[in-house]
Chain A
């Protein structure tokens, strides 16, 4: 039956992108053959490599096809290993557009159709930008109509085409300068720490080799730190630049990227967890990151900014964005229940283990450099470890009500995560030997989300409280049936 479909081919320029991505992917050896093959007497090899590359590109384009029927999206590809996939329209979770940099240069884009299984995506690559956006909106409309028709059938009502969606309202954009400020502020603590370690090393070098050597080492160190800062910031700006979040009545649309641009549409009810995070300096600047984890295919989460509602937003904006996106408050004001002070003891036990295994041997080595240096690790480590343990305990807090679980954690970087109780898939506890001696355990709450923030760990709860919460959350999870199209 599939053979009778109205198969369409991708845009012809796809050949160019396929060849270019093959060359960049297999880069050096291939370029070497192209550039020097002739000179080394391997003319035939160079020509053959060129012909084969272009041939594979052309064949790849020729053998790829997509078709849309009243029932499903079909896609087939592959030269030797042929693959065919179909996603029924009613199963479509999400339709998104991506513009990888090579395709963007020639004005092409990829349309990604995701269903709920982790490997179920169809990626139609590549289409002209206009075709891509036309196909995207057609698929979104078709998916919506099918869903509405199914609901009507279930309700026994007559099927009516849903009215067209009103245009999406812009909820949030992140200006590039706040991205730069955010990035520099976010990496500053790490750089300061690295700088402190490097400074200590320079002092040691100065004692051992002399002042000139130390100055050279310091110069190299500062240069490296600056390079790291530039690299990380540029990367963030390229990946998250031009961030836009739009809300239509049924879905959220996230768009980001300066070189490779991606646009993802996600239904608010598919969002499984929501986390607002901020580092120590970022917080002083009143900036936060809002990340979510959604129950969709992997295409949505391949690129991290797409699992965000904002890469940098002020407290007020966070409230507005979260409220506008998922109709809940960001849980800033929720009163959190503190955890047992035993967590401090557990953290100090961990600090002691690291001290014995790493810092004590390091002290011995330092003693060989200078007798006074032997005290440095101990004098630095213990105040930091004690502060860290107390701060970790101070920040840890949980709250469970009828609707949601809220967890705050983190020492330098604070994370405030909320999970609607109906999204919980399973609950587990985990207790190491040290934890058991203190009567503590971790509680791990898993959701159906895909990606890094799809689960929540509540560390070091007293075992009785852990068991109580485990039962309460598992009870909430069991009382609602999770459905693919919630």
Chain B
């Protein structure tokens, strides 16, 4: 048996994840705008409102752009010996965990996850330093399949 000379992280994330990230980005932008409106109306400082609206627009534009980059960078994969994950836009990370080292598996779903039919798998190894390899927001079916394959 040989080590994965070719990257085994070839699976992209489900495209619904982009919807999830976009929804979160829009919510954050809306929070900034609402904060601006509150300050503007209560404090009679509409210059602040305008500034915060501008911040929200720039933030949203940047986030939407980065979301596409992050989506393109995200890859995960599993074969009979390895689990590999690649991610990151500015700081790029690769994680390789031998399957013999998997200690526990956790499945997590948030409210937006559930609405989009996604769930995250966290793979724990022993020890306390970055032992967790998280494969976030997989389609439920794929997550269940991965979970049962790793647990089996």
- Contact A446 B130, beta carbon cutoff 8 Å: yes
Contact residues in B for A448 (Cβ distance below 8 Å): 125-127
Extra 8 A-B pairs, beta carbons < 8 Å, given A428-B94, A447-B127, A480-B100: A425-B101, A426-B97, A426-B98, A428-B96, A431-B92, A448-B125, A450-B127, A471-B96
> What's the Cα separation between A474 and B3 when bound, in Å?
7
Give chain A residues whose Cβ lies under 8 Å from the Cβ of B1: 479
* Chain B stretch 92-106: residues in CB contact (< 8 A) with chain A: 92-101
Q: Which of A425, A427, A450, A470 has the most CB of B within 10 A?
A: A425
A477-B98, A478-B99, A481-B100 as given contacts; A428 in contact with B91, CB under 8 Å: no
Q: What residues of A have a CB within 8 angstroms of the CB of B4 in the complex?
A: 471, 474
Q: Within B73-109, which residues are at the interface with A (CB < 8 Å)?
A: 81-82, 90-101
Whether the pair B130, A455 counts as a contact (CB closer than 8 A) is yes
Contact with B along A99-116 (1 / 0, CB 8 A): 000000000000000001
The 7 A-B residue pairs with the shortest CB-CB distance in the complex, in nearest-first order = A478-B98, A448-B126, A475-B3, A471-B3, A455-B129, A428-B95, A448-B127
Q: Which residues of B contact A363 (CB under 8 A)?
A: none
Would A430 and B98 count as touching, CB distance under 8 A? no
Asked whether any CB of chain B lies closer than 8 Å to the CB of A264, the reply is no
Verify B127–A446 contact, CB threshold 8 A: yes
CA distance A351 to B97 in the complex (A): 34
A450-B127, A477-B101, A482-B101 are known contacts. Are A426 and B81 too (CB-CB below 8 A)? no
Known: A116-B126, A430-B93, A478-B100. A446 touches B131 (CB 8 A): yes
Is B148 part of the contact surface with A, judged by Cβ < 8 Å?
no
Contacts from A to B (Cβ < 8 Å): 116, 118, 272, 295, 425-433, 436, 441, 444, 446-451, 454-455, 470-472, 474-475, 477-482
Report the minimum CB–CB distance from B5 to chain A (whole Å): 7
Contacts A428-B93, A470-B96 given: A475-B129 contact, CB under 8 Å? no
Cα-based distance from A432 to B129 in the complex (angstroms):
20
Q: Which residues of chain B are near A429, meaning CB under 8 Å?
A: 92-94
How far apart are the CA atoms of A441 and B4 in the complex, in Å? Answer: 19
Q: Which residue of B lies closest to A118 (CB)?
A: B128
Q: Are A449 and B127 in contact (CB under 8 A)?
A: yes
Do A295 and B126 have beta carbons less than 8 Å apart?
Answer: yes
Interface SS majority for chain A: mixed
A231 to chain B, nearest CB (A): 29
Which residues does chain A contribute within 8 Å of B97, judged by CB atoms?
425-426
- Inter-chain CA distance A478–B133, complex, in Å, is 16
Docked complex Cα distance between A430 and B93 (Å): 4
6 pairs, A vs B, C-beta closer than 8 Å: A425-B97, A430-B92, A448-B125, A454-B129, A455-B130, A475-B3
Of B5, B82, B92, chain A has the most CB atoms within 10 Å of the CB of B92
**Known contacts A426-B96, A426-B98: does B127 contact A433 (CB below 8 Å)?**
no
Closest partner residue, chain A, to B99 (CB atom): A478
Q: Are A454 and B99 in contact, CB atoms less than 8 angstroms apart? A: no
Q: A118 vs B128: C-alpha distance in the bound complex, in angstroms?
A: 8
Measured CA separation A429–B3 after assembly (Å): 16
Would A454 and B3 count as touching, CB distance under 8 A? no
Contacting pair B82 A433 (CB below 8 A):
no
| Residue in contact with A432 in the complex, picked from B91, B101, B131, CB distance below 8 Å | B91
Name the residue of chain A whose CB is nearest to the CB of B133. A426
B123 vs chain A, min Cβ distance (A):
9
Find out whether the CB atom of B130 lies under 8 angstroms from the CB atom of A444.
yes
Q: Which of B1-20 contact A (CB under 8 A)?
A: 1-5
Q: Which of B1, B97, B133 has the most CB of A within 10 A?
A: B97
**B125 x A433 contact (CB < 8 A):** no
Is A430 a contact of B96 with CB atoms below 8 Å?
no
- Return chain B residues, CB-CB under 8 Å to A425: 97, 101, 125-127, 131
Q: B residues within 8 A CB of A116?
A: 126
